[in-house]
Amino acid sequence: MTTKRRIAVRAALVLALVAGTPGCVSRSPGPQLIAVPAPVPVSELSGVTLQVGDQKGGTEALLRAAGALTNLPYKIAFSTFTSGPPQIEALTAGKIDFALTGNTPPVFGAAANSKTRVVSVWDGAESGEQILVRTNSPIASVPDLKGKAILVAKGSAAHANVLEHLADTGLKPKDVRLVFLQPADALSAFANGQGDAWVIWEPYTSQATLTLKVRNIGTAENGYQFGSASVRALTDPKRNAALGDLLVRLRRAAQWARENPSEWAKKYAKAVGLDIKIAELAQSHLLRLPVPLDDKVVAAEQRLADLFAAADQIPEAPQFVKWVDRRFNGVLAASGTQ
């Protein structure tokens, strides 16, 4: 065997050993960068219909309550979804252009190589995302959850909440029993004595607080909510311009909600069919604070990606920054809504 041949064989063996070594994490190259289209004045957007994903009592309700849908230079068609993950799927399929979700759907979307980008962020939802136990439970803090049954919606912000708290206390997912249930089912189960803890978000947190005997042992660390756009919309000059305008309207609507909490709670309660007291408490925990889409936000999401990968909930941790597009940071800052 020639010297060159021996070197090539050794190199191949080394690569094979590295690829097969436990603990080595492979990373996909990620999506390609998207060029920002040339600016289009809003006066030329009359023929555009922006397809916007929504959840009951969410984007449309907030925009209408704040009067932010008046004098639109384009049209908006809202589509209602049950939760964030199907909205990310719809964005990837090009069925919608934009959607607001919690902190976890964009992570799972990135792990699935979704054709989406995170384009805006809000903070201040963490106080409504809690780990609840019954008032008479011997569980005093997160370490006491070892060996206990925890009700949680799989792949949700609540799932991220419990994984972060477990990691902070040196526990692993295998040290507890995660029982995956959607919120309505988990509420019924917890009310009937099933599970030792329930990890949940608003408005279920407030519903449990006001109707059940519970207490909180762990508020979420990551309170971000994200606006995601489809690659199709971001590469189309007119849709891209409409998205920039919509983001400004959303930020101003959120400011209106913070400044008019009682009025917003009434309209929110009507939109989702909730008791007004539950609605008021729930919305007091959803501040929708404007923050820039910066490295701090990306790092917080990367931690979630790493935790979900370590828990075998996604095949590998994506480099979350590659699914982030900061093109609208300047627009939002200039409008005074960031």
For each successive 10 residues of the chain (338 residues), what is the average pLDDT? 39 33 46 90 96 96 97 97 93 96 96 96 97 98 98 95 98 97 96 98 97 98 97 97 97 97 97 96 95 97 98 96 96 82
- Span 127-219 CATH architecture: 3-Layer(aba) Sandwich (3.40)
What's the confidence (pLDDT) of residue 234?
97
Q: Which residue has the tokens 């990551």?
A: 222
Residue 83 sits at φ, ψ, to 5 deg, of -165, -175
Query: d(Cα 268, Cα 274) in Å, to the nearest integer?
Result: 8
Determine phi and psi for 241, rounding to 5 degrees.
Answer: -65, -40
Quote the DSSP letter at residue 24: -
Beta strands in the chain, from DSSP E residues, in sequence order: 49-54, 75-80, 98-101, 116-123, 130-134, 149-152, 177-180, 197-200, 214-219, 225-230, 289-290
* In this structure, CATH architecture of domain 42-123+224-333: 3-Layer(aba) Sandwich (3.40)
d(CA 184, CA 51): 28
* Cβ proximity of 84 and 101 under 8 Å: yes
**What pLDDT does residue 338 have?**
65
For the entire predicted model, the pTM comes to: 0.88
**CATH 3.40.190.10 domain residues, the chain:** 42-123+224-333, 127-219
Query: Are 156 and 182 within 8 A, CB to CB?
Result: no
